[in-house]
Structure 1
Amino acid sequence: MKTLKIITFGIFLFISSTMHSQVSINVNIGSPPQWGPVGYAETEYYYLPDVESYYDVRASQFIYFGGGQWIRSSRLPRQYRNYDLYGGYKVVLNDYHGRTPYSHFDKHRVQYCKGYRGKPQKTYGYYKKDRNDYYKKDRYERRDRHDRDDHDDDHHDRGHGNGHGRH
Structure 2
Amino acid sequence: MKILFCSLGIAATLTAHPLAAKTRYEPYEARNSLNEGQGGSRTTKDGVDFWTTGDPPRRYQIIGIIRDNRGTGALHGNAIGSSGIAKKVHEVGGDAVILLNQNSSVKGIWSQGQASAYGGQTSGSGLAIPIQERVTMFAVVKYLPAIEPTQADQSPSGIAPQP
Normalised by the shorter chain, which TM-score bucket?
Answer: under 0.3
Who wins on radius of gyration, i.e. which is larger?
Answer: 1
